[in-house]
Amino acid sequence: MSTELKVGAVVLFAIAAASGFILNMNDTANFFGPPTDVYRVSVSFDSASGLGRDATVRLAGVYVGRVEDIVLSDIGQAVVTMRIDNGVTLRTDSTASVSNEGMLGEKFLELTSGTPGGSVVTDGGSILPGAPVSIDQMVLVMNNIAADAQEMATAMRNVLGGEAGETRMAAILDNTELLVRQLGEITRRSQEAIAGSLANTEELTAALAESIPAMVENYQLFVSEATSLVSDNEAGVTDTIEEVRGLIADIDRSFLQLEEISQKINTGDGTAAQLINTSETIDKVNETIETIDDSLAAFDSFYNRASQTQFTAGLRSEWYANDEATKNYFALRIGLSENNTRGFIIELVNDNIGFPVVGTFLTDTLSPTGELLDRVTTRVTSRDERFKFSALLAAQFNKFQFRGGLMENEAGVGIDYSPVSDRVSFTLEGWDFGRNPDPHLKFRGQFDVWDRLFLVAGADDLLSTDFRQFFVGAGFKFRR
């Protein structure tokens, strides 16, 4: 064999080997027919635009086969047949969608493997089409967005263009500048108000810090006295119960004796038997027994009401800002009805403020002959500071409580209103209606922080322009 022939044979062998390698890498049909290690799967699309025969098929981005054929079905859909490697498993709920490699790259089929454990697709089977977003659809959406933006720009140009638009823009800027200045002024005023509120809070805290120790001491003293009073009453009630039990035992013995006498009389003769056996005597005995039963029932009802009576005691201290002094209250409320809607209130008041008392004095200047030359009128205002006493009857009607009686040594009335719950209440009181020039009127709001601690605030002597002042305070209350 000549050298030229050997060289030609080697070149042909190299070309054949390279062609086989390239064909194997692209997984195309070889010269001897289609590959035998694949199975065929079909899928139907409404449109397979841009997808051609021999396009790649991928699963999770990995090459798994190629498009073998694309035909049109009887209903106008594109039926795509794929060759899938035998090592790849697809299920009946797998999907196929047309995708692009970038904006301008070629199109390929992207598969999903389906639900694990589902039915496996065999040779000649079919899978479901996906719902891809094509480049054409994206371009259409972008065109619509661009059209909307152009319309918006045209509308803005029509509104702001020309002299009228310049006038509108200038007015908008002026209004914005005015709004910014007003917001700055509001912020400055708010800072001043907040600073004043903080200062008032500091004064209130300091006043409460001075008053609370004395209030706690008074409250502890009151609790001790109330406990002693309750203990004494319990001993008295116990004795009363024992006496009632003894009385009932005596009555039982009396009835037994009456029964024995009745039996003796029924079996005997004589005037006594005739007297007892007459209907008139029996009626009188029955009336006597009914009277005894009514008396026992009345006593039992009184005892039950006494044991259910609710006692409420409290200590309240109010600090008056103008006089820088306190007014202290010790109150005891006794419920008079079964549901405590009616009661009796007793208050002891330690008034370090007092109420204004105005006196008028006349000074006359006379001549030697007794004629009036000059008269000077002097008005003197003093404070009536003393211990005072209140005794009031109270009645509850829904959210309102009405009180009336003796209020701080004078006749007075009051009303309490709880709009939401028992923790929040508002009180209006009036007394000393004969005071000159105006009666005494007081408003107070109360908030229960806990069951036994509450805060108060309000205004006193509302009708007097000279002596009206505000107060704050706190207090304790105790129920039995």
pLDDT in tens, 67-117: 999 998 899 899 999 999 988 889 989 999 888 876 667 888 899 988 888
Q: What is the pLDDT of residue 473?
A: 94
Work out the pLDDT band at 414, boundaries 50, 70, 90: very high
The helix/strand/coil state of 257 is helix
Range 311-479: architecture per CATH: Beta Barrel (2.40)
Structure tokens at 373: 């030359």
**Helices then strands (H, E): number in the chain?**
5, 18
- Between 453 and 48, where is the model more confident? 453
Q: Could you give the C-alpha distances from 47 to 108, 118, 229, in angstroms and in order?
A: 14, 28, 98
Q: What is the pLDDT of residue 204?
A: 81
Q: Are 215 and 317 in contact (CB under 8 A)?
A: yes
Buried b / exposed e along 171-193 (16+ C-beta atoms within 10 A): eeeeeeeeeeeeeeeeeeeeeee
Q: What is the pLDDT of residue 292?
A: 66
Q: Is pLDDT at 429 greater than 50 in this prediction?
A: yes
Range from 30-44, 200-214, 429-443 that averages highest in pLDDT: 429-443
How many CA atoms lie within 13 Å of 191's alpha carbon, on the beta-carbon side? Answer: 5
The helix/strand/coil state of 29 is coil
From first CA to last CA, the distance across the chain in angstroms is: 131
Q: Is pLDDT at 475 greater than 80 in this prediction?
A: yes
Query: What would the DSSP string read from start to end of 359-423?
Result: EEEEEEEE-TTS-EEEEEEEEEEEEEEEEEEEEEEEEEETTEEEEEEEETTEEEEEEEE-SS-TT
Tell me if the bond preceding 437 is cis, omega within 30° of 0.
yes
Name every residue whose Cβ is closer than 8 Å to that of residue 390 and which is 6 or more positions away in sequence: 345, 346, 347, 349, 405, 406, 407, 408, 412
Q: What is the pLDDT of residue 384?
A: 58
Name every residue whose Cβ is closer than 8 Å to that of residue 448 and which is 6 or more positions away in sequence: 422, 423, 424, 454
Domain definitions of the chain by residue range? 36-129, 223-308, 311-479
Q: Is pLDDT at 264 greater than 80 in this prediction?
A: no
Q: What is the pLDDT of residue 28?
A: 45
Q: What is the pLDDT of residue 391?
A: 93
Out of 3-12, 103-112, 159-168, 303-312, which region has the weakest mean confidence (pLDDT)? 303-312
Name every residue whose Cβ is closer than 8 Å to that of residue 80 and which is 6 or more positions away in sequence: 42, 43, 44, 45, 48, 51, 67, 69, 70, 96, 109
Q: What is the pLDDT of residue 322?
A: 84
Please provide the average confidence, as pLDDT, over all residues in the chain.
80
What's the CA gap between 420 and 98, in Å, rounded?
67
Give the CA radius of gyration of the chain: 53
> What mean pLDDT comes out for the span 443-448?
93
Backbone angles phi, psi at 362, to 5 degrees: -110, 130
Positive or negative, the CA dihedral 161, 164, 166, 168 is negative
Q: Could you give the C-alpha distances from 154 to 157, 159, 214, 266, 435, in angstroms and in order?
A: 5, 9, 78, 124, 79
What share of the chain in percent tops pLDDT 90? Answer: 20
With tokens 């692209």, the residue in question is 26
Q: Is pLDDT at 358 greater than 60 in this prediction?
A: no
Q: Is pLDDT at 118 greater than 50 in this prediction?
A: yes
> What mean pLDDT comes out for the span 262-268?
66
Q: What is the pLDDT of residue 29?
A: 43
Q: What is the pLDDT of residue 312?
A: 84
Name every residue whose Cβ is closer than 8 Å to that of residue 207 and which is 6 or more positions away in sequence: 319, 472
Q: Is pLDDT at 405 greater than 90 in this prediction?
A: yes
Q: What is the pLDDT of residue 360?
A: 63
The helix/strand/coil state of 448 is strand
Q: Which strand ranges, in their side-by-side order, compose the sheet holding 38-45?
A: 125-126, 38-45, 78-85, 62-72, 56-59, 107-111, 95-100, 128-129
Q: Is pLDDT at 317 greater than 90 in this prediction?
A: yes
What's the CA gap between 442 and 449, in Å, rounded?
22
What's the CA gap between 314 and 327, in Å, rounded?
14
Q: What is the pLDDT of residue 276?
A: 55
pTM: 0.35
Local structure of residue 342 (DSSP, 8 states): E
> What mean pLDDT comes out for the span 287-313?
67
Q: What is the pLDDT of residue 23?
A: 56
Backbone angles phi, psi at 195, to 5 degrees: -60, -40
What's the CA gap between 115 and 124, in Å, rounded?
20
The helix/strand/coil state of 127 is coil
Q: Is pLDDT at 34 greater than 60 in this prediction?
A: no
Structure tokens at 230: 């309750």
Q: What is the pLDDT of residue 30?
A: 44
